[in-house]
Chain A
Amino acid sequence: MEPATCEIARLPEELLSAALARTSPRDACRAAAVSPAFRDAADSDAVWACFLPRDLPPLADGELLHPATPPSKKDLFLRLSDHDNPLLLPDKLVSMWLDRETGAKCYMLSARDLTIIWGDTPQYWTWIPLPDSRFSECAQLLHVCWFDISGKIPCKMLSQDTVYAAYIVFKVNENSLGLDYPVQEASISVGVTSLTRKVCLEHNDEDEGEAGAVPGHYWPVRPHPPQRTRRRNRRAVRHGENVGRPQKRADGWMELELGEFFNEGGEDGEVSFSLMETKGGNWKSGLIVQGIEIRRKKSG
């Protein structure tokens, strides 16, 4: 091999690694393609140990397979940051993975880990297995008037100085009712601070109808204020601009953002999330809930 003539070759590998450790996982992977010397530095444990969080939660048995040779830190990071294959925590009700860009810890609280009002009453909610979920069960909504799902996670489980967002991960089947109107309220609270916004689980894209108008198929159980008009035709409801909408995920499920928060870290306490619709009094049905996902929110 010809002697290296470039100046950066003067730096011993550990100093190059020290510099790479201050970039990001993505940069370190790219750096490996620069030259063989860079690859040795970029793939070293010194670099990837810095990207791994200091405190990983304990995992369920068998989640991390241990081959004969222990994995390098880079392999470990790549395995932990595989969003398509999250790892289960020992209670098997929560799964976790690392955000590949930053190493921030992300979680999904399964439906069983959440507090679903009337969730244990079989006429209202049932629990069904679904093959495309990491968890053994999902909650299926049969009918309920009081729609109230909440969950929480200790702040300590999250990564410091990170902006997170919480999403409810769900599916809506064709026979759904009452999920498009009235809109639900999503809220997130950290300590004494709480933020609430309006969201809608079933947002129809059609433009017919006035924003916020009461649809014809809306039959509340309790009488509603008389000034609302009823329409004869069943129309799609178009909500105002500031109502959060669901997005389709790559894994085939839908997700709806409940809100975001900044986890400064170093605090005891929890972050709580909730999704509720308890004022309208109408029946809702046709929802399948996998859980609530908490992941790092990209800025901008």
Chain B
Amino acid sequence: MDSTADPKGKRPLYQEDGLAYARAAAAAASATAAAAPDEEEAKPKPKPSSSSEEAKPEPEAEDQAEMPPLVLVAEDGVEVSISRRAARMSHMLRLLMEDSCADGPIPAPNVHSDILDLVVQYCEKHGPYYDPEASERARNPFPPFPVELTPTVSSIKPVTYVDPDPHGLKDWDKDFISLDNSTLFEVILAANYLNIEDLLDLGTTTVADMMRGKKPEEIREIFEIENDYTPEQEAELRKENAWAFED
């Protein structure tokens, strides 16, 4: 069975010893897998147009290809399945797979099935391009500050703009994460529980974007927070951090 061509990039190469079993298993996989091919394949080999993450043939891919998707059980009892490749994005699921404990249903308590669906959607989208090591390298433990405007023309060193996003993931992410606050927080909590660092990054960065440059009153309004400071306490805090309140 041929998968439909991946609309975003090149089709991943098939394993040399393509397994009919793997194809059949993948074909029977649940509909949560999107157009992204689940079948046996190596990760895309590095190409000039590929993302800054270096893609290497995944040694696990061959094993994964043979195996059926994982089944996660949400708090409301609904089962959500996730392909093995997408599941790699979750550190917790990766460990379970390595320890071969991922064959039965995996409970995801405190995560509602709707949220789990969203999380799985994210993983299925990003899964084909996920390289754990590159992700770690790219992840700056000290997240960068909001990027400044481009350096003025008279600066010496020219800034070369390299597009690190040939797969259009940034735009997809932007649409994906435009959620109402409540859903956003649930997604963050789920990503935290399943230890999906990239999704956690995306969620926390979105929350950060909502807070950046805002005054405390505005933050309270956005998140509907009750101000349980007394006026004296608040005045003292503003005095202590006076520099932050000068505009």
The stretch of A8-16, A137-145, A274-282 in contact with B is A8-16
Q: Any chain B CB within 8 A of the CB of A1?
A: yes
Chain A contact residues: over half helix, strand or loop, or mixed? mixed
The stretch of A19-27, A60-68, A111-119, A232-240 in contact with B is A19-27
Given known A-B contacts A15-B192, A27-B212, A260-B152, A190 and B157 have beta carbons under 8 A apart: yes
Closest chain A CB from B136 CB (angstroms):
16
Closest chain A CB from B196 CB (angstroms):
13
Closest residue of chain A to B144 (Cβ to Cβ) is A161
The stretch of A29-37, A198-206, A222-230 in contact with B is A29-37
Cβ 8 A contact of A30, one of B181, B192, B208, B245: B245
B181 touches A7 (CB 8 A): yes
A30 touches B226 (CB 8 A): no
> What CA separation (Å) do A17 and B113 show in the bound complex?
27
Closest residue of chain A to B219 (Cβ to Cβ) is A34
B225 touches A38 (CB 8 A): yes
**What 0/1 readout, one digit per residue, does chain A (47-80) give for beta carbons within 8 Å of chain B?**
0011111100000000000000000000000000
Q: Inter-chain contact count A-B, CB under 8 Å? A: 153
> What CA separation (Å) do A61 and B204 show in the bound complex?
39
Interface residues of B in 206-247 (CB under 8 A from A): 207-208, 211-216, 219-220, 223-229, 234, 237-238, 241, 243-245
Given known A-B contacts A8-B181, A33-B238, A260-B152, A20 and B211 have beta carbons under 8 A apart: yes
Given known A-B contacts A33-B241, A190-B156, A261-B156, A54 and B226 have beta carbons under 8 A apart: no
Chain A's interface size range is 35 or more
Interface residues of B in 38-96 (CB under 8 A from A): none
**What 0/1 readout, one digit per residue, does chain A (179-198) give for beta carbons within 8 Å of chain B?**
00000000011110111010
Given known A-B contacts A18-B200, A23-B211, A30-B241, A10 and B189 have beta carbons under 8 A apart: yes
Closest residue of chain B to A82 (Cβ to Cβ) is B243
A6 touches B144 (CB 8 A): no
B225 touches A35 (CB 8 A): yes
B237 touches A33 (CB 8 A): yes
A30 touches B145 (CB 8 A): no
Q: Name, among B144, B219, B234, B244, the residue most crowded by chain A CB atoms within 10 Å (CB to CB).
A: B244
Q: Any chain A CB within 8 A of the CB of B28?
A: no
Q: Any chain A CB within 8 A of the CB of B129?
A: no
A15 touches B189 (CB 8 A): yes
Given known A-B contacts A15-B189, A18-B204, A261-B155, A6 and B223 have beta carbons under 8 A apart: yes
> What CA separation (Å) do A39 and B244 show in the bound complex?
14
A36 touches B144 (CB 8 A): no
Closest residue of chain A to B157 (Cβ to Cβ) is A262
Q: Any chain A CB within 8 A of the CB of B148?
A: yes
Given known A-B contacts A36-B228, A262-B156, A264-B157, A7 and B215 have beta carbons under 8 A apart: no
10 extra interface residue pairs, beta carbon distance < 8 Å, beyond A2-B228, A34-B219: A9-B225, A26-B243, A27-B211, A35-B226, A101-B145, A102-B145, A259-B156, A260-B155, A261-B156, A262-B151
Using CB atoms and an 8 Å cutoff, list the residues of chain B in contact with chain A.
Answer: 141-146, 148-152, 154-157, 159, 181-182, 185-186, 188-189, 192, 200, 204-205, 207-208, 211-216, 219-220, 223-229, 234, 237-238, 241, 243-245
When A and B form their complex, which 6 residue pairs have the shortest distance between CB atoms, in order from nearest? A29-B244, A22-B208, A19-B207, A29-B241, A299-B149, A33-B216
